[in-house]
Structure 1
């Protein structure tokens, strides 16, 4: 099916890309919520001794910041399929209302995708490592919550390539 360019001269994102951007948000959310549960004092699968390190202010701050950063990156991923990823929103100082150069979004997205793929590449072997600080059920649940994260990098890469293909001649 051939689609016509939008009024701005670029093609709209394919349906699979929009679905992939939404999938990324659903992939990342469970791990963020799990970390917030730890911050709120719920052991979330840890033994009493294993949970102690998570009760420090530093650990709690780190978990909140990691969750916020993860969700912010997910929000940026939506820019690869939304109009504000092609034209900067007017409220942004200095660049508001200007067209986003395709490389300005594609290069960081591809570098991020590479980093995310590397970070999460070891996760499929989660169950082969000892988790003495977790209950057996906790280890299973945490592994299942985090396992979809292996898709975050490849989906982001696919979205970046799709964005580049749509925008390169626009």
Structure 2
């Protein structure tokens, strides 16, 4: 099913975990886009220029970072694509992918705690929404984000284990590249 452009020796569970990351970030991004578009998903829509820019940037950056997780299971995460200047075609050192992924997962874990505590207070006080339907939609769209840190962590660990215990790159990836 998800084996399209995946490195052949990646375990199925690792592929599912990596592909789940961008899917986990998608609902919150769609909620923010609805907020900017004026859909009544919160008590106040975002209309100001800087507010709109912030929401759109947050959505784009979040989804782009989530999509980078796919590099932990696809060939471009093991050999830099040739079209990238200066480093194209070179093998990716495992720690060059794993360290940023694990630091990102740690940051996401801390952020989920901090944002969860502050936003749960705002949610309980009714500052964010006007109705139970808006509140349910907000929770349904943001709850999947809690999976981002653990999914990224297991994806990075699987990548590291596979890359540090597998045969050399030319035998595995370069023939599939």
TM class by shorter chain equals: 0.7 to 0.9
Runs of at least 5 residues in structure 2 that lack an aligned partner in the other structure: 1-6, 169-177
Identify the match of residue 76 of structure 1 among 57, 68, 71. 68
Identify the match of residue 157 of structure 1 among 142, 153, 158. 153
Please name the residue that 2:103 is paired with: 111
Within a 5 Å distance, the mapping from 1:31-70 to structure 2 comes to 31-44=28-41, 46-47=42-43, 50-51=44-45, 54-70=46-62
SS of residue matched to 1:168 = helix
Identify the match of residue 125 of structure 2 among 109, 125, 130. 130
- Aligned partners of 2:92 and 2:20: how far apart in 1? 24
Range that drifts further, 22-31 or 79-88: 22-31
TM score, norm. by length of structure 2: 0.81
Q: Is the 8 A contact 1:11 1:166 kept in 2?
A: no
TM score, norm. by length of structure 1: 0.84
Identify the match of residue 12 of structure 2 among 10, 15, 20. 15
- Mark the CA change 1:91 to 1:151 in structure 2 (over 3 Å): closer, same or farther: same
Q: Is the 8 A contact 1:88 1:99 kept in 2?
A: yes
Please name the residue that 1:98 is paired with: 90
- Mark the CA change 1:133 to 1:113 in structure 2 (over 3 Å): closer, same or farther: closer
Runs of at least 5 residues in structure 1 that lack an aligned partner in the other structure: 1-9
SS of residue matched to 2:80 = coil
SS of residue matched to 2:125 = coil
Please state if 1:146 is matched with 2:142. Answer: yes
- Aligned partners of 1:131 and 1:82: how far apart in 2? 43
Please name the residue that 2:3 is paired with: none
Instruction: Report the aligned-residue RMSD.
Output: 1.9
SS of residue matched to 1:160 = helix
Q: Is the 8 A contact 1:126 1:143 kept in 2?
A: no
How far did residue 11 of structure 1 move?
A: 6.8
